Amino acid sequence: MALRIGDTAPDFEVDTTAGKIKFHEFIGDSWVALFSHPKDFTPVCTTELGAVSKLEPQFNERGVKLIGLSVDSVDDHKKWLLDVNETQGTEVKYPMIADKDRVVSKLYGMLDVNTADQVDAKGLPLTVRSFFIIDNNKKVRFIATYPASAGRNFFEFLRVIDSLKHTTHEKIATPANWKPGDDAVAVPSLTTEKAKEIFGADSVTEVKPYLRIVKGDAVVKMKGKVSI
């Protein structure tokens, strides 16, 4: 069965560039971003690892650990990371999983089984570009899949994390193209009256009974103070 939002993230023990890791122990009390790359020493993956490395402080500020994955060996990872650091002007510090046997890739449904040229020398499938956000309760909160040819926009994943953190702790949802500081919307289970009580009467506008706009400054002010 495919892994879905709300499922418990499968646990595993695996070799990484930071040594052997038990995934649930690695998560601990943090959130985690787990992301796959089709293969070491490839152009798009090289730019992606560099981009994530440069954004790592922003993920950390949000309480999110990073861990990458490719189907190559730890030794290959370490050699490749030298290239990444050199060409992308960074120093990759997050661990990279060596998933040569595709154990993690199968658990998380990452394998590209339908693209003929996405195989290794042994004919085994490579991974697609998957991205999972997993919370401190080990629950999958977000899943994205990109084809091998399309590099990901990692700023979007930061935006999603910001949205998830808000909607976890406050009775709001985030509308289309939302970014931190923008207006949000009250969740459907919340009455307009209750929304005004929580966020302030001047901060809530009822457009329709089901569409109540909450001013961005009120959302920021209430961050973490209201539980769903």
Q: With a threshold of 0.75, does the pTM exceed it?
A: yes
In this prediction, the residues of the chain whose per-residue pLDDT falls under 70 are 1, 113-125, 222-228
- Catalytic site includes residue 45: yes
**pLDDT at position 207, please?**
97
Identify the active-site residue in 14, 34, 45, 98.
Answer: 45
- Asked if 41 contacts 80 with a C-beta cutoff of 8 angstroms, the reply is yes
d(CA 47, CA 172): 35
Q: Output Rg (C-alpha) for the chain, integer angstroms.
A: 20
**pLDDT at position 226, please?**
44
**Encoding tokens for residue 79?**
């050699």
pLDDT, tens digit, 9 for 90 and up, residues 126-169: 777 999 999 999 999 999 999 888 999 999 999 999 999 888 77
- Asked if 219 contacts 211 with a C-beta cutoff of 8 angstroms, the reply is no
